[in-house]
Structures are given as C-alpha cells and as structure tokens.
Amino acid sequence: MWKNDYNRWKEFTELDADLASKLEELTSDEQSLEDAFYKNLEFGTGGMRGKLGPGTNRMNIYTVRKAAEGLATYVNDQGLSNRGVAIAYDSRYMSKEFAVETARVLGHHGIPSYVFTSLRPTPELSFAVRHLNAAAGVVVTASHNPPEYNGFKAYNEDGGQLPPEQAEIMIDFVNKVENELKVEAADQLELEEKGLLRWIDDEVDAAYLEALKGVTVQPDIKKDLSLVFTPLHGTARDLVEKGLQQSGFTSIHIVEEQAKPDPEFTTVASPNPEEHQAFEMAIEQGKAIDADLLMATDPDADRLGIAVPNENGEYVVLTGNQTGALLLDYILGQSEQLPKNGLLIKTIVTSEFGRVIANAYGIRSLDTLTGFKFIGEKIREYEQTGEHTFMFGYEESYGYLVKDFARDKDAVQAAVLAAEVGAYWKNQGKTLLHALDELYEKHGYFLEDLQSMKLEGKSGTEQIKAIMDDFRNADIKEAGGKKVIAIEDYATTIRKHVQDGTEEEIDLPTSNVVKFILEDDCWFCLRPSGTEPKIKFYYGVKSGSRKESEELLAAVKATVNERLHALI
C-alpha cells in the first residue's frame, strides 16, 4: 500500500528539487523508504512532529502545507478568518521555510498571517495570539528532539494548544486533505503586498516584556545573585536576558558557545535541560565565577532546568518536580494575600509534592492529563466561570506557567521567577538545596524518576502497543513491596479499587495511560509519548528520609523492569 504513495511522489513532476534528490537516495534502502511512506505523518492533539525528509511520514513542505490546509479550513469553520493566524518558529532546519509555507497556504484562503521575522520562543507565540487577537497560532518547532526532527504545533484563539474537542475537529480537517502534493499556496510577495503576510517583531516583544514584569512576587528584595544562563542554541537568550535585567538582576553570564542558534546543537548530545549533560558548559562556567544559580532552556524555550551548588561546590541539577515545588512554595508563601479560590494545576504524572504544599496554604489542586494544553484549557474555563483563580501550573518535564498571559509552559517566566527565588534564599543565607530540604522536612521526602524506552518505526509502534496491553491487562498486586490499591486506566477513564473491586469514573478526557496507585502515596505510570517514538515510565514514592525513598524507588522500578524485560 505504501508503494502507491511512493510512486505518487516519484511521478510528481513539480516535486521540490531537494526532496526529489533525497527521495532518489532512499530507493536503495527499502526499510527507510517504507518508514518514509508506510503511513501519513500523524497530526495529533499536539500537532505533528517527525523527521525531515521526503515522504508522507516525514516533515517537509508538502506535509506542512497539508497541516496548514487543515488549519485554514478550521479557522474558516470557526468563522474567525478575519482575525488571522500568528506564526513563530525556532532554530531548526527548515523552521522559517515551514513558517512561510504555512502563511502561503493560509493566504491562499484569504487568511492573514502575522509572522515573526526571526526565531522566537514558543511561549511568546502563545502570548502573540492573545495580544494580536488572532484566530489561531502556529509554532514550527520540535522542542528538544534531535536535529533531524521538526514539528508543527497549532494553538487556538486563547493562545493554548488545541484541547481534545478542538483538536479532533482540526485533525479531521487535516485528514480530509487527500493529496498533500496538490495543496495550493499563494505567492509570498503577493501576500505581503495585499497585507495577508505581515511581519511582526518589536511591538510584540515589548508587550511580552511588559507582561513579564507581573511575574515578580517581591520587587524590592535584594537581587545580588550570580547567574549563568544557556539557551542551548535556541530561542530564549534575548527575552530571558532582558527579563532578568528589568527584574533587577545585573550579574548575568551567558554561555556564549551555546548562545548562537544552531540547528545541529553541536555542543550537546541533546538540547534538553532534563538531560544533565546539557549543563556541562554552564557548570564549567559556573565554577569559574562561583555562580549561585545555573539555568538552561530547551530550544523553543518552553522548558527550564536549573542547577545549584551543594556544600562541596558541585552543581546539582534539580528535577522538574523539585523546581516546581520551590517555585510554588515561594509564590504561595511570599504573596501578600492569597485568594480564597486559588488553584494549583498539575498533571497526573507530576509529583504529589505540589499538592501537599498547596494544601498547606489552603490552596486547592487539580490534576490534568499530561500535556500543557490541558492546563491551558482549565485556565480558560475558570477564567470564564470565576470559580478559581489560577496560581501556578506545572508538569514534571520542566514545564511551568506563573502568569496566564501565556497559555503554554513558559521558560522565560520560570527563569525570572527562579532567579528571584534564588535571590530570596540567598538573602536568608541559604541555597535552593537548603530550601528544598526544609520542604522535605516539613512535608515528607518525595522522590520521583522517569525512564524512557525509544522504539522507532513500525516495529517500535507495535512493541509500544504490546507493552501497554500487557500492563493494562496484568493482575499486578504489588510493586516494590507496596500493595496496589487502585488502577487508573485513562483509555477507559475508569479507576478500579483493587481491594473491593469497585469502579468509578475519572473526570478527564481519554488517553492511552495506565497508572498504578500504591499504598503510602507511591505510584507508577506508563504513557507512550505523543510526540516522540518512546514509551515513558513514571515513578513516585514518599517516605520519611532520602535513603528510605531511594530504596523504595529502586524496588518499585525493579518490579516494573522485570516485567518489561520479559516482554522485550
């Protein structure tokens, strides 16, 4: 079946020359050729992401045009075409080209586009949609994926990623585009002349930086903190540096080797602040100047990682759960007055640490499915109803949102607040590690971990399905010596209580996730990635000490891995 699509591409006389050349190279590699054509690159709830190259299962100008055609139909269907679409892009190969192709397709349908002239962070795109009162937004990025990847993320008129109901409508429109090679795109110069392609920059930047001032909790505290920041060859340098400066920080040191946008990310194995190797240059520079805090953002600047020195002068990279707990406790503990209807929003695979901290301040917490689009959706819902006031949103994978002028995770906001939190604790004669220890002593020692298994291609997809099916149907009674007390299957939205067999509905959208709730606030969870060829295993435990939690975590992981190794 896939050979029909291959032949369609092969016979297309107007095929882009570069793609035609690469397609010819694939003809000698049957497996690679099949992977490029065995399916259409899936447009899911988070948009689409894939390897660059020719084929229906690759990111190229034709699959991007197909996505843009679906978006154009979606915008027209919503009756919002006159409001236009904001478009941003990162430092990856073909990012600006894909942004312009998107604008050309939209322009063919008479829909204006507002396109940044140079790369910008993803959260600024979210802000731009709201600031420009646009009908939708697009950011061309593959976040922290390897250099051979790129992606297309769609945003709604609220500046959030499309939630399930809206996403299903757009997915349907994209899937109805029968031939990606035949999607029409208008001429760029003609669109510029007609005002259907408008280049944007400074005005949106200035408005974003003005909004960023609201992230500061205590404007007048002493900001005597030495910072090292690396944007990991991505989009964050300008806004993070300006945001820190306007907040009062003066000792800001940039890792210059990683400050220049680079689609190859040549100084790191992976441009992901979750990976400790991404901090190597920042750590080297930090030691040279005795820095108080190191910060790193991923290429599209929606994730932030931080590292702080321990008593031996070695830098410790904090987890997303730890950073989230510190930011949350600072916001709630240092704000002048907390609203009675304040709300913390986190995901189902994020630590329970945040919920315990919020409870201590009388703030309610809410869990959503993994993905910041669900947090953004809830912010919008409660903004309209007035039922809750948003206080903070975060997920374990280094994503945080402090103020809702953006509706996606925002590393620029998080960087400015993290610097303030570091300065606050330095003024107390303490580091963030000291502050974290105080939270553990008060609330219990929470410890989490994440394992990922990369399984690419058609065979990998089949293996991931087999793993999920096995755990979903297994009769697992305990893990790491802790009894299983409930199993949450988000595909069926049913929570089953193991002891008495009773069931209840989970009030969340369906998702291919299974979570095992263990006794004593422990748990583990399986979730295939929605954007990468991976299956992820999340773990969370709690005890009275670090040593006990480490032992408990290892035991729970061992139980899961024994079963997993028997399957693979």
Structure tokens given for 130:
């709201």
Q: Does residue 24 belong to any structural domain of this protein?
A: no
141/249 same-domain check:
no
Helix, strand or coil for residue 505?
A: strand
Q: pLDDT of 64-90, one tens digit each?
A: 999 999 999 999 999 999 999 999 999
**CATH code (residue 151):** 3.40.120.10
- What is residue 469's predicted lDDT score, i.e. its pLDDT? 94
Q: Does residue 50 belong to any structural domain of this protein?
A: yes
324/262 same-domain check:
yes
402/501 same-domain check:
no
192/226 same-domain check:
no
Q: Does residue 98 belong to any structural domain of this protein?
A: yes
User: Residue 258: phi, psi to the nearest 5?
Assistant: -115, 10
193/72 same-domain check:
yes
The partner residues of 353 in beta bridges, in order of sequence, read none
302/223 same-domain check:
yes
Number of domains within the chain:
3
pTM: 0.94
CB 538 within 8 A of CB 321: no
* 474: Cβ contacts below 8 Å, ≥ 6 apart: 563
- What is residue 29's predicted lDDT score, i.e. its pLDDT? 87
User: Residue 566: phi, psi to the nearest 5?
Assistant: -70, -25
CB 226 within 8 A of CB 293: yes
Alpha helices in 109-163 (DSSP H): 122-131
* 430: Cβ contacts below 8 Å, ≥ 6 apart: none
The partner residues of 151 in beta bridges, in order of sequence, read 49
156/85 same-domain check:
yes
Is 143 marked active-site?
A: yes
d(CA 272, CA 303): 8
335/274 same-domain check:
yes
462/391 same-domain check:
no
The residue among 443, 471, 497 that closes a domain is 443
CB 258 within 8 A of CB 281: yes
Q: What is the DSSP letter of 161?
A: B
390/456 same-domain check:
no
- What is residue 531's predicted lDDT score, i.e. its pLDDT? 64
The residue among 411, 443, 475 that closes a domain is 443
Q: Does residue 29 belong to any structural domain of this protein?
A: no
d(CA 79, CA 422): 47
Domain that residue 501 falls in: 445-567
Q: Does residue 14 belong to any structural domain of this protein?
A: no
Burial 74-103 (b: 16+ CB within 10 A, else e): bbeebebbebbbbbbbbbbbbbbebbbbbb
Q: pLDDT of 443-473, one tens digit each?
A: 999 999 999 999 888 888 889 999 999 999 9
Pairing mode, strands 227-230 and 252-254: parallel
Q: Does residue 2 belong to any structural domain of this protein?
A: no
- What is residue 557's predicted lDDT score, i.e. its pLDDT? 96
Q: Does residue 28 belong to any structural domain of this protein?
A: no
Q: Does residue 335 belong to any structural domain of this protein?
A: yes
Residue ranges in the chain modelled with pLDDT below 70: 530-531
Catalytic residue among 143, 351, 397, 543: 143
473/560 same-domain check:
yes
Query: Nearest to residue 65, comparing CAs of 2, 16, 114, 119?
Result: 16
45/161 same-domain check:
yes
The residue among 182, 200, 218 that closes a domain is 200
- What percentage of the chain's residues is helix, strand, coil (to nearest 5)? 40, 20, 35
